[in-house]
């Protein structure tokens, strides 16, 4: 038949892009024929790269204005007189390549491959972690959770700016998992992840990481400033953490003479087997102390000595900040 004859004489093949090349599910895209200035006998569109009757979408003969649909026709395709194909109400399955056969007046055909990608807009991601409060030198893992099957790219923000990766940080699983090990006090702050694909991007809500640290130890990042007891701006958390440290040191006999928190020394050389060696029990201890403090505070604001003096000192230090 005439149609079989058309299929034989394929010549040079070029690839063009759909308009738009990256389309959104539910919207429309145009697969252009680029036939300006040329006279054609007809156009045949196939789904995929194979020129085969089983992949036929639509066949249009210009002069007789006859349009015939094939097995790959979904009812959402319209061929224009210039050969371009309009796809409406796109589905993700419409992604892929399409092959257009342009048949000229002497029934020579020319193939064009058109590429189309259809995406769903991304949904808002969220940050998940086991614990948003960690002790300095521990590790923390933040996971950026995003729904949907579409491939997305993920980037991380810290205090509203692009996260600058240090050698203590590791990104895995296509950037969806951020591990900081060990955590430094400078890592405390607001984290966000942003997922994007070619048609959309969304940011997660703000996630606050609180880092508990020993203020008498110089920070890993920058020496000097030990004014902050806890990096993090929630006053309640700050106070609880300060108390937690104090109670912790008192319990473990880290220092006996101090009325000021800064006098409590935790020297690495003296305490190679010190309380900071076991991270897990340390973290538990701090949390327990914090809870304990919260529970007791309303009832008995003035426990036995020497706690009151030390508490006041700590509290005023916190308020000063
Ligand atoms: C072909 O016709 C359609 C509908 O009139 C138009 O939108 C499109 O720009 C034309 N040209 C191409 C190259 O698709
Ligand atoms: C071709 O046929 C369609 C209906 O099948 C009609 O809407 C359109 O106007 C016709 N075009 C021409 C150029 O005759
Ligand atoms: C688009 O497609 C979806 C499902 O494929 C359908 O529910 C919806 O009604 C369609 N919308 C239009 C405007 O055709
Ligand atoms: C998409 O394509 C797959 C495989 O080709 C098919 O199983 C699925 O039903 C299609 N989905 C829609 C909505 O057409
Ligand atoms: C990362 O993304 C690529 C492409 O989207 C995917 O093939 C791969 O499975 C992903 N890897 C992981 C660990 O999720
Ligand atoms: C968070 O960490 C504290 C100690 O830092 C611990 O007591 C608490 O159980 C942890 N919470 C979760 C949900 O793991």
189-231, pLDDT tens digit by residue? 999 999 999 999 999 999 999 999 998 888 764 433 333 333 3
Query: Would you place residue 51 in the very low, low, confident or very high pLDDT band (cuts 50, 70, 90)?
Result: very high
Answer yes or no: are the C-beta atoms of 20 and 31 closer than 8 Å. no
Residue 151 has what pLDDT?
72
Superfamily of domain 2-119: Immunoglobulins (2.60.40.10)
Residue 177 has what pLDDT?
96
Cα–ligand 6 centroid distance for 188 (angstroms): 16
66-102, pLDDT tens digit by residue? 999 999 999 999 999 899 999 999 999 999 999 999 9
Q: Which ligand is located closest to the Cα atom of residue 76? A: 3
Residue 35 has what pLDDT?
80
Cα–ligand 3 centroid distance for 197 (angstroms): 22
Cα–ligand 5 centroid distance for 174 (angstroms): 6
91 in contact with ligand 3, CB cutoff 6 A? yes
Give the number of the atom of ligand 3 that is nearest the alpha carbon of residue 89.
Answer: 1
Residue 13 has what pLDDT?
62
Give the number of the atom of ligand 1 that is nearest the alpha carbon of residue 83.
Answer: 1
Question: Model pTM?
Answer: 0.64
Report, as an integer, the average pLDDT of 111-139: 94
* CA 77 – CA 88 distance, rounded (Å): 7
Cα separations in angstroms, 25 against 87, 96, 122, 147: 11, 14, 11, 16
231-265, pLDDT tens digit by residue? 333 344 444 444 444 444 444 443 333 333 332 33
Residue 79 has what pLDDT?
95
Give 11 or 157, the one with higher predicted confidence: 157
Q: Which ligand is located closest to the Cα atom of residue 64? A: 2
Which residues, judged by CB distance below 6 Å to any ligand atom, belong to the binding site of ligand 4? 91, 93
Residue 105 has what pLDDT?
87
Answer yes or no: are the C-beta atoms of 204 and 194 closer than 8 Å. yes
Q: Both tokens of residue 164? A: 């600058």
Residue 131 has what pLDDT?
87
Q: Which ligand is located closest to the Cα atom of residue 65? A: 2
Q: How many CB atoms lie within 10 A of CB 300?
A: 8
CA-nearest residue, atom 13 of ligand 1: 34
Give the number of the atom of ligand 5 that is nearest the alpha carbon of residue 173.
Answer: 13
Residue 25 phi, psi (nearest 5): -50, 135
User: Does 319 score more than 70 pLDDT?
Assistant: no
List, by residue range, all CATH 2.60.40.10 domains of the chain: 2-119, 126-212
Looking at the structure, give the CATH architecture of the domain made up of residues 126-212.
Sandwich (2.60)
Percent with pLDDT over 90 in the chain:
53
Query: Would you place residue 143 in the very low, low, confident or very high pLDDT band (cuts 50, 70, 90)?
Result: very high
């Amino acid at each position: 038949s005439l149609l079989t004859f058309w299929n034989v004489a394929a010549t040079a093949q070029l690839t063009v892009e759909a308009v738009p090349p990256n389309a959104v599910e539910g919207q429309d895209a145009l697969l252009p024929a680029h036939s300006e200035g040329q006279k054609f006998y007809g156009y045949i569109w196939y789904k995929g790269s194979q020129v085969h009757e089983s992949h036929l979408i639509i066949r249009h003969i210009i002069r007789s204005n006859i349009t015939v649909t094939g097995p790959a026709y979904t009812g959402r395709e319209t061929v224009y007189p210039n050969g371009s194909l309009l796809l409406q109400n796109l589905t993700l399955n419409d992604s892929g390549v399409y092959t257009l056969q342009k048949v000229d007046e002497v029934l020579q055909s020319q193939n064009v491959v058109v590429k189309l990608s259809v995406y769903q807009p991304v949904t808002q991601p969220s940050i998940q972690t086991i614990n948003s409060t960690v002790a300095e030198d521990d590790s923390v893992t933040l996971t950026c959770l995003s729904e949907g099957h579409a491939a997305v790219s993920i980037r991380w923000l810290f205090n509203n700016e692009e996260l600058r990766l240090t050698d203590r940080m590791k990104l895995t699983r296509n950037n969806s998992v951020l591990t900081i090990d060990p955590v430094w006090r400078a890592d405390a702050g607001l984290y966000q992840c942003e997922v994007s694909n070619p048609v959309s991007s969304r940011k997660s809500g703000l996630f606050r990481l609180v880092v508990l640290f020993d203020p008498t130890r110089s920070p890993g990042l920058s020496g000097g400033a030990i004014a902050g007891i806890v990096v993090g701006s929630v006053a309640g958390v700050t106070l609880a953490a300060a108390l937690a440290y104090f109670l912790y040191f008192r319990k473990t006999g880290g220092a006996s003479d101090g009325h000021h928190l800064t006098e409590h020394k935790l020297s690495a050389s003296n305490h190679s087997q010190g309380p900071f060696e076991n991270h897990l029990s340390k973290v538990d201890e701090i949390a327990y102390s914090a809870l304990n403090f919260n529970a007791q505070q309303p009832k008995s604001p003035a426990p036995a000595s020497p706690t009151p003096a030390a508490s006041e000192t700590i509290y005023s230090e916190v308020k000063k900040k």
